[in-house]
Structure 1
Amino acid sequence: MDNVRAAQNPRVKPHETEPQNSQQKFLASSNDFVHIEKNLASLGFFTPSTKKIKGSKKKTILFSKEVDGKKVELRAVILPSAEYGLPITADQDKFLALQKIIADIRYQKGMVNNPIGFTSAELLRILGLKVNAGKNYSDILEWAKRMTLTGISSEGVVYLAGKQVWASDTFHVFERFVSFGKEMPDGTIADKNYIWLSEWQLENINSNHLLPIDLETYKQLKNHISKALVPLLQIWLYATRAGGCFEKRYHDLCQILNIRQYPNLSRIKEKLAPSLEELKSYGYLANWKIEKTSSGANYKIALYHGEKFHRDQRRRLAQCGPGLEKKAPVETLQDNDHLISSEVHSSLLEEMVKRGVGEATAGDLLRNCTPGQPILDQLEWGDSLIRQAPRGKFYNPAGLYIHLVRENLILPESFESSQKRRLREALQQAREDEESHRLRLELAYSDYKKELIDRHIQRNFSKEHMRSWAQSKRLELLEQDKRLKDRWNEQTLQVLAENKVRSDIAKRLSIMTFPEFCKREQRKQQRAITDGGAVQSPTLLENSL
């Protein structure tokens, strides 16, 4: 419909065509991750709600950080427009879809400049929404106006990656919006929708001050609180990845999400449990708990890292190298402990150069890489794409490698890099070693019980007594089930009877459980290592048994 109206109006700007390069189209569509600017992800800019929030004068979020050893309180205030209200979950959906379009533009042109053009149908297709529903088009127009009119007042909270400073100022996300069919600044008629990103958004996007969001998984979520938490979890879980658990005061969480705070645990769970369980079902979380703080005066939420977090992190195992200064300072929500040795940096630089990437370009890519970015894996994926492609498809292989690293594209699950192969083989070997160790312990435990029972029988019962006892057990078995005589021969019945006798004897003895036996064997090995002696076989019993 947009194109038809454009054709009817001679003042409409020519429609921008899609990239003709098949390589570009494949790479753009294969990346299910979008990258959202970090400040918006951490500020709670989007409020979880299924309904429009009008009448709210502002939304205030408090933060604290250490400056020169002192704890300083900072704040961000979201200032809604009177007409359109606060940005909500549906606005976050569209904003993430827009990031997909922005990523394609950045791939084609190397960086993002204003204005950014897109059709409403393009945005709807990314979100999987109907392109023939008039209301969906109206919603997009309202979203763009809300994003343009909503302000952010920052008191040292918004970080400007290009200038490397914390800003105290008032901003907008979109500086301007012109919808399809309206007049552009140069007097022409817009052939599609156009937005002008604010200067700080452009600066941070082009400086890679971004967080990855799995858009395909995100779109499957149903609860609005779940969706609001996804960008926040990227920050919180990464910062606490070593401990495996992130804790947030319930009061602070309510402030960020702009939801009602309840005093009773039952009401808190009633409000949060559906969303936390949904995040758990998709692997974002392994588990969650709501419990009292150490003072007992308030509640806190404990979030445990899920398999999806670990799976996504494993895709970024190759480190980007420093000695290179990252553009975000230590106080940002980005964790900076990923910096590695200059030796690894030199190795990655060499890998890029030998694939045809210029040394200066390679150095720039390394300076702007994302924490934990799997650069070597991405280069190897590029090798695989070129190897499998028809001759001449990738006329500029170096450009492919640059794109893979610059956009930090997520590798398909099916691709096995050399790093992933080494990890898989090491994990497989570890599992085999663990299973072998457990089997040895189980055999040793069986020998331990047998020897203990044998020793007790030898000391306390004659052979004649044992034969008589076994015969008694045989008769008991036949009395319980007369069909046993027809099913089993005499030899099998005799073995069963003797085992019953040994089972009765075992009940009278003080026999370690299997976990107790394992702990004993572990202590024996530790003592042997400490004493510098040989580790005894688990089958040998200590004299005390």
Structure 2
Amino acid sequence: MGYFTPSSTRIREILTKEKRIAEITHSDGSITILKVRILASGEYGLPTTRDLDYYRAFLKLLEETISRDGVFPEPIRLPTKTLIHYAGKQVSQKEVREVKNWIRRLHHTGIVGHVYNAQRGAYDELSGEPLFAKYRLRGQRLENNRMAETNYVWLASWFIKNYWHHYLRPIDFAFHKRLRKPIAKSLYPLLETGWYASNGQPYAKSYRDLCQEFLLTVHRAPSLIKQQLDPAHEELYREHFLAQWVYRKSTDKSDYIITYWPGEKFFQDQQARLERRERAAQLAKKAETASRPALAATTEGTLPSRYLLAEILEVCGDRQNQAAYFRLIQHYPEDLIRMALFETQQADREGRIKKSKGAYFTDTLKRLAHP
């Protein structure tokens, strides 16, 4: 949604950022443009790529907590030194203050407009909700009247739903930490998403659109445009994420179009994802010959199977096919089912589903199991 903006002195006085996120064509031919606005507080300003460093660290900490405890924590403990370490920074009084301000900033920054709800497979309209619905810093009093021994945050419900439904594109956290240019940090997810959607083909972006999304100063002279963007391009090139970039004038000569070619690292990352799918398929083949506890067709199944069925129904939406989904749960391993669910959600977001989400999910599951 363009929540984080490349750090610069220019954005200090900018408190509102708007981005077009989707275009919906209705049956009568009319078009609805969905937008989202990021509203900053005057005291803390808009979230920047420096905040993105701590956000990535937060996601790593959240994933570790869920893997260890098996449940989604409420609230989430955010030890200051752990966040600083995960963000690739050195512990200092300055960074301790940065962590506190990062928590405050993500609480005081409102989101107005449309945000994708992976649970429903549609867009919800928010009216100013922040990412951190509530927080307590170390030393502040909790609701049970105890003093907080560390930082705590309560996440917005829309984030929790999307997290549980895997609406977060995985990133190379170590790679992100190596990047030093703010524009490079913002280009990384933008280009990765563009190349993924185009199946590794070159991705083109209007210079003016890029400036609007990143809140950059718009230049007219090619030399100034290159001076502005090429340090980030060169950093991504050195990391083998970007292979080539070319500037050309738009057809009406009022703008420049930048075309980006993916580098070796992008294809390596895609290959790694493909190998994970293949490993899951191998697990599925083994599962065909292994004995598995049968789910009684006339019962609701075990507690884990009911949770998994609920997720399938939330994604596919066709409750009349519960019995068929029970048979899939009985036949295929959970990891493979979740992978097929993720693929179905991605295809739905990209408008690639021609029939129903249930049919797409079932076909995808079988394709992953029998590549």
Q: Same fold (TM over 0.5)?
A: yes
CA distance in 2, matches of 1:52, 1:300: 23
The alignment status of 1:139 with 2:98, answered yes or no, reads yes
Alignment pair present for 1:290 and 2:247: yes
> Who is 2:166 aligned against?
208
C-alpha distance after superposition, 1:376-420 (max 9, x if no partner): xxxxxxxxxxxxxxxxxxxxxxxxxxxxxxxxxxxxxxxxxxxxx
Matched, 1:47 2:5: yes
Structure 2 distance, partners of 1:151, 1:277, is 34
TM superposition shift of 1:365:
3.4
Q: What is the Cα deviation at residue 210 of structure 1?
A: 1.0
Q: Secondary structure at the residue paired with 1:169? A: strand
CA gap 1:358/1:198 in 2 versus in 1, 3 angstroms:
farther
**Aligned counterpart in structure 2 of residue 121 of structure 1, from 70, 81, 97:** 81
Equivalent AA in structure 2 for residue 136 of structure 1: E
How does the TM-score come out when normalised to structure 2?
0.75
Q: 8 Å contact 1:287–1:303 — kept in the other structure?
A: yes
Q: Distance in 1 between matches of 2:53 and 2:180?
A: 12
- Aligned twin of 2:58: 98
Residues 51-200 of structure 1 mapped to structure 2, 5 A cutoff: 51=9, 53-68=11-26, 70-131=30-91, 133-154=92-113, 156=114, 158-170=115-127, 171-200=129-158
Between the aligned partners of 1:358 and 1:55, the Cα distance in structure 2 is 61
Q: Does the 8 Å CA contact 1:286/1:304 hold for their aligned counterparts?
A: yes
Match in the other structure for 2:265: 308
Could you report, residue by residue, the CA deviation over 1:261-319 in whole angstroms, capped at 9, with x for unpaired residues?
11222211110011011111111111111111233332111111111100000011158
- Closer, same or farther in 2 for the Cα pair 1:363/1:165, shift >3 Å? farther
Contact 1:207 1:368 in 2 (8 A): no
Once residues 358 and 282 of structure 1 are traced to their aligned partners in structure 2, the CA distance between those partners, rounded to angstroms, is 48
- The one-letter code matched in structure 2 to 1:59 is K
- Per the alignment, residue 278 of structure 1 pairs with 235
Q: 1:136 to 1:347 in 2, by over 3 A?
A: closer
Name the counterpart of 1:253: 210
CA deviations on 1:109-166 (whole Å, 9 max, x unpaired) are 33423210021111111123222x1111111000100011001112x3x111112220
CA separation in 1, counterparts of 2:224 and 2:185? Answer: 21
Give the Å deviation of 1:169: 1.7
- How much does 1:193 deviate? 0.7
Distance 1:219 1:346, change over 3 A: closer
**Distance across 2 between alignment mates of 1:263 and 1:137:** 40
Name the aligned partner's letter for residue 336 of structure 2.
Answer: L
- Once the two structures are superposed, residues 28-66 of structure 1 have per-residue CA deviations (whole angstroms, 9 ceiling, x without a partner) of xxxxxxxxxxxxxxx111110155943323111124424
Contact map agreement 1:211 1:234 (CA 8 A) in 2:
no
Deviation at residue 241 of structure 1 after TM alignment: 2.1
Partner of 1:317: 274
Identical counterparts, % of pairs: 30
Partner of 1:217: 175
Letter of the aligned partner of 1:349 in structure 2?
Answer: A
CA distance, structure 1, for counterparts of residue 193 and residue 293 of structure 2: 33
- Which residue number corresponds to residue 338 of structure 2? 368
TM-score (norm 1): 0.52
CA contact (8 A) 2:280 2:335 kept: no
CA RMSD of aligned residues (A): 2.6
Letter in 1 for 2:49: T
Report deviation, 1:106.
1.8
Contact residue 175 and residue 197 of structure 1 kept, 8 A: yes
C-alpha spacing 1:274/1:54, structure 2 compared with 1 (3 Å): closer
The whole-number CA distance in structure 2 between the counterparts of 1:93 and 1:146 is: 14
Q: Does the Cα contact within 8 Å between 2:283 and 2:333 map onto a contact in 1?
A: no
SS in 1 for 2:13: coil
What letter corresponds to residue 197 of structure 2 in structure 1? A
CA distance in 2, matches of 1:52, 1:355: 61
